[in-house]
Amino acid sequence: MSAVNGCGTSSARSLTVRKLLPGSLGSITVVQTALCPDRVFTYTFAAMPSNATSIQWVIPNGATLVSGQGTTSITVSYPSTAINDYIRATAVNNCGTSATRSLSVKLPVCTPPAFAGTLKTSIKPEVLLYPNPAVSNSNLLIKSVSAEEIHCRVFDLQGRLMLRFTAQAGKAISFGTELKAGAYMIEVTQGNFRSQHKLIRL
């Protein structure tokens, strides 16, 4: 760039322009939230990389992305078949992408449970809590063959009741935006069934 008038031209001034690419991704934290046959895992980065606006995730073939695309944490559901593939993540902004972070995923075939003696017909409800850890909303999904009402309570680690709500079997319910960062215990009861699950909010 040079300045010009009727008498001549100044010396040129230059400015180097560089792309501001996203920073490198850290390590991936893995938490399994449900077992066979409907295996569910959460994959989480501690923070969004510098200069990045989102994270693009690629999951193994046959898996289902339940939630979280574009964020620092995703929830993935796997079938009962064997999985041998990779979770891949790339930080993105308007100027480009970071190097890809890969994590190997090797899951065996889910085998039917072995029963000793008489086969019991009662089936306990299955509770899915995702994403966990959570930044915004969490989702609670209870799989149950019972038609009894499901009661849910959220306590802090001092035992204080923070939330109380009911849920329907097979229907995910979203909650948690009103909770501060920290650790909580989720209590789920249906008839004689009772289970507790730890929730981490970042």
Higher pLDDT, 30 or 120: 30
Look at residue 24 in the predicted model and tell me its pLDDT.
95
- Which domain-ending residue is among 47, 79, 107? 107
pLDDT tens for 70-104 read 999 999 999 999 999 999 999 999 999 999 999 99
Q: Tell me, yes or no, whether 76 and 131 share the same domain.
A: no
Domain membership flag for residue 117: no
Domain membership flag for residue 17: no
Question: By mean pLDDT, which of 26-30, 114-118, 120-124 is the weakest?
Answer: 114-118
Look at residue 122 in the predicted model and tell me its pLDDT.
55
Residue 193 is part of which domain span? Answer: 126-201
Q: Tell me, yes or no, whether 171 and 101 share the same domain.
A: no
Residues 152, 164: contact at Cβ < 8 Å?
yes
Q: Tell me, yes or no, whether 38 and 70 share the same domain.
A: yes
Q: Tell me, yes or no, whether 101 and 148 share the same domain.
A: no
Residue 154 pLDDT greater than 50, yes or no: yes
Separation CA 131–CA 29 (nearest Å): 12
What are the phi and psi torsion angles at 86 (to 5°)? Answer: -135, 145
pLDDT range class, residue 117, cuts 50, 70, 90: low
Q: Tell me, yes or no, whether 100 and 130 share the same domain.
A: no
Look at residue 164 in the predicted model and tell me its pLDDT.
93
Residue 196 pLDDT greater than 60, yes or no: yes
Domain membership flag for residue 183: yes
Look at residue 121 in the predicted model and tell me its pLDDT.
47
Segment 128-137 shows an average pLDDT of: 89
Residue 5 pLDDT greater than 90, yes or no: no
Global pTM?
0.53
Q: Tell me, yes or no, whether 130 and 175 share the same domain.
A: yes
Separation CA 1–CA 14 (nearest Å): 6
Q: Tell me, yes or no, whether 134 and 98 share the same domain.
A: no
CATH number at residue 63: 2.60.40
- Which domain-ending residue is among 53, 79, 107? 107
Question: By mean pLDDT, which of 17-21, 121-125, 148-152 is the weakest?
Answer: 121-125
84 CB-near residues (< 8 Å, 6+ apart): 105, 106, 107
pLDDT range class, residue 119, cuts 50, 70, 90: very low
Count of domains for the chain: 2
Proportion of the chain above pLDDT 90, given as a percent: 62
Domain membership flag for residue 131: yes
Q: State the sign of the Cα–Cα–Cα–Cα dihedral 55, 60, 45, 33.
A: positive
